[in-house]
Amino acid sequence: MDIEADVPSMSWEHVHGPARAVMYELLGSQDAALAQSLHDDGWNGQPLKPLGLTAPQFRGAPKKRGVYTTSPDGSVWLGSPVPQIAAVLVAALASRTEIVWGPARLKVRGFTVDVGVPVQDGPVELETATPAVVKHESRYLLPGDTHYLARLQHNLAHKADILGLPAPSGLRVLEAGPRRRFTVRGAPRIGAQVRVGLEADARFVEALRSWGLGLDTVQGFGWIR
């Protein structure tokens, strides 16, 4: 979705904070029952929600200390690996001229449906555009921490199970960005952008590209670049 913000900057708490509400509002505008079911129960008998999106991203935005600056050239990516859900998102976006993102209004200048490049089974590299969030018990983990790979692999296997696809194997972190901390609904989210390698069924790779890596994908984390 191509967007333009009506404010020159946003506070950091409003970068990822409104994402979940935006996603459910879009879904609910076209299918209230589906949105409520996903919110309350998840999908396919599991609490995970097969939804992903990014926070608004702005090309050419000037850097300014203490705030997240915008520009007229922005975008938000949204997706779902479940065709039924993805179709509702497309219908919702087709009817919108703006999106309310916290205190900002994002003018919708247009949107396209990205089908993606077909992939084959086997080794693949995936890079996130937003920080991937991984937790062990109550602690947020960063690449290199004990349990990081195990917990990320567990999340991937859980997603594959919900979609009825084989779990990937051979997960490894190839590159990691700096630690990033965001406040979401008054609580911290800590993670880092990563580039990972894994071996996976091509259908699962396509699913991840419209869902994301790690936790809180409906809050705008872990979107695949």
SS3 13: helix
* Cβ atoms 136, 142 nearer than 8 A: no
The confidence score (pLDDT) of residue 123 equals: 92
| Residues paired with 74 in a beta bridge | 3, 58
pLDDT value, residue 212: 97
Task: Tell me the CA distances in angstroms from 74 to 6, 110, 111, one per residue in order.
Answer: 11, 11, 11
pLDDT tens for 60-70 read 999 999 999 99
pLDDT at res. 216: 96
What are the residue ranges in the chain where pLDDT is below 50? Answer: none
pLDDT of 141-162, one tens digit each?
999 999 999 999 999 999 999 9
For 20, the enclosing helix (H) or strand (E) is helix 19-30
pTM for this predicted structure = 0.93
Give the C-alpha separation, 52 to 207, whole Å: 10
CB within 8 Å of 164: residues ≥ 6 apart = none
Q: What is the pLDDT of residues 113-130, one digit of tens each?
A: 987 666 777 799 999 999
CA 63 from chain centre, in angstroms, equals: 23
Beta-carbon contacts of residue 189 (< 8 Å; ≥ 6 apart): 16, 131, 133, 140, 181, 182, 183, 216, 219, 221
